[in-house]
Amino acid sequence: MKVHYFTASWCGPCRNFGPTIEAVQADYGFNFSKNSITLPEDPEKEAQNKELAASLGVRNIPAVIIVDDNGVEVARSVGALDRNKLVEFLAAHKVID
C-alpha cells in the first residue's frame, strides 16, 4: 500500500491538515508521499505532482489516496480530517494497526 497526500501552499485546509498527517505518520510509522501541486521552487517536481494528481482524478484538496502495489486506488479521503478520523481511515485500510 502507498499513501499519497495532495496539498497546495495556497490551500487553507491543507495548512491545517499537514501537521495532522505528519504527526500521525510520526506516531504510527507509515510512509506517505506529499505531493504539493504548487512548488515554484521546483517546477519539474510540481509538474510530476500535477500529473500524478490528474492520473488519480484529484479534483479537491487536501486529499489522501491509498493505492495498492499495482497503483490501483483502494480508498480516498478528501478534506481536512481531524486526528482521530485520519487514524480510523488509515486503520480501516490496513495502512496502520
Percent of the chain whose pLDDT exceeds 70: 100
pLDDT single digits (tens) 14-61:
999 999 999 999 999 999 999 999 988 899 999 999 999 999 999 999
Q: What is the 3-state secondary structure (H, E, C) of 36-93?
A: ECCCCCCHHHHHHHHHHHHHCCCCCCCEEEEECCCCCEEEEEECCCCHHHHHHHHHHC
For residue 65, the model assigns a pLDDT of 98
For residue 11, the model assigns a pLDDT of 95
| Mean pLDDT (the chain, rounded) | 95
CA separation (Å) from 5 to 73, 83?
13, 15
Which domains are assigned to the chain? Answer: 2-92 (3.40.30.10)
For residue 36, the model assigns a pLDDT of 94
